Structure 1
């Protein structure tokens, strides 16, 4: 297995940091003493729990996606796909991409970006 570049390791670390912050928020909600006496208060408490758990779900999904994007297997398949395409493509390097999972907020992952090579103009 190849060494991770600082960019690859950096995005995994960033998502891990966000997961830890979200878990701390969920822990604060769990430990908070709250007197719920009305339906509105119950609904607000439930909504806070749902938002916190959805955020964790999105971040954990994003982490798994980032780990897959960083895997040698997927890089090899991406190279095969690019080579099988008509025309030439240029690897532009890694770019941050925002992914919306089915739950929670969008998550940023670092993915390879390919573009078509520019056609050279013919000289007359």
Structure 2
């Protein structure tokens, strides 16, 4: 696996664990995983839009937290696909569905700046 593939794997794992921590109310673990997500996303951005576009492989992930995080970070790059994913996740119940709904609302109001 190349370095970009490893970064996408790290991103997916951090998003997955962040979702689990959020679901159980473990804010400390959630904060740690958020830091991992931010770090990987920053590294991808530093390598250019082609590297960030690799997050597109996570838009259809079986875990909604992973798909939601990837869609959020892809809003400035692949807006239509990201909105479609957030809309799908927003239709689900629970905290991830609520998060996707708020993310869409904030993006459409131009108050969200993922970069």
TM norm structure 1: 0.29
More strand by share: 1
TM norm structure 2: 0.30
The answer to which structure, 1 or 2, has the higher relative contact order (CA under 8 A, 6+ apart) is 1
More helix by share: 2
